[in-house]
Structure 1
Amino acid sequence: MAEAKQIEKKAKKDAEKNQKPTLNIQPGERMRDFNARVEQEYKKNFIEAVRATKPVSQRKLKNRESRKQKKVAKKERVEQLYGGRDFDDLKDHVAFGEVADAPPTLTKIPKARGRNKELLESKTKEVTEKKEAADNKYESDEDENMKLLKASHKRKIQNMSASARKALDDERTRVIDHYRAKKAKKMVDSGLTPLT
């Protein structure tokens, strides 16, 4: 598709080149100005004619040919690696004066090509797994286990007798007081005033 357009453009250019404008002297124009205009108009043709008559050495021709072959080989290698050009048919036709409110958002996952195919597939798999985990509101198995433990702990406290619950509360307050005393001692040792 793109090649056909290129060939068409080349044919148009060749037709324009072959179509030589007829130059006439303008009324009131001096001969010197007319000659300068003619020379300027046909300058490319003169240069091409001189080049055509100049003999080109075999070495130069060989170098040109090898450069062309390298260019073609490079193009083929890139096409083989990345699967060709993707954006030939993705052109936006923007009307004059149209304002872009925000940059475009990509909603489709790009098609994997070449070497990056496996990498892209693994990344998309990871992203979907993370998304599913976020939907469950647990980031890992440990979080889920902690949630289950908390629930079972609440059930145990609710099923305890009043004396057992009081003993548990006393133990909890003793541990908290011990922690606060240790923290205050640490602050005094470092030269800070402990909070009361």
Structure 2
Amino acid sequence: MIQAVVWDIGRVLIEWEPERFYDSAIGVERRKALFAAVDLHEFNLDVDRGQPFLGTWQAAARAHPDFAADIMLWHDRWIDMASPAIPRSVRILTALKAKGVPLLGLTNFGVETFEIARAAYPFLDLFDRRYVSGQLRLIKPDAGIYAALEQDSGFDPQGLLFTDDRPENIEAAAARGWQTHLFDGPAGWADCLIRHGLLTKEETQ
């Protein structure tokens, strides 16, 4: 029996496509050159691990002066990358909340960026508890972040249903006995929740 539903956030509730943002901001060719020269995703993981948001990107810009202005867009226009919300996913989250299903967030997110997201997306406050990598200084798919959720929430691993868009994060949860769903869009997630008897088809629309 499912005791709680655990949600990833990026690409599940909120779109997250940095390359798409940069294509619109600086053009495809400049974006390709930037991403080939600088591992922006690794710098972002440093933020998700708990490093300072501004300081991390300032250091990246200093290390790559030819792309400094472009790099700083990751900081200065971060919310434009972390957008828009995925409407049907938000409706599903809201429907679960209305049914009284315990909701947990388990996300790789920086401390400051999560607060920016909360201000932009009030539905992030629907979670009963949130487990944010930057706050915990633990990051998916490391086992420690899953253990932290189990220990703090008190739910049995077998009673957790977890959705995430990254296979390695799903595999790490499944290895602990969690029930899992690899998110590839709201429709499949809705079908999963219906199969588990948590929502009706009408409630997932």
**TM-score (ref. length: structure 1):** 0.19
**TM-score (ref. length: structure 2):** 0.18
Higher relative contact order (CA 8 A, sep 6+): 2
Q: Which has the higher helix share?
A: 1
Which protein shows a greater Rg? Answer: 1
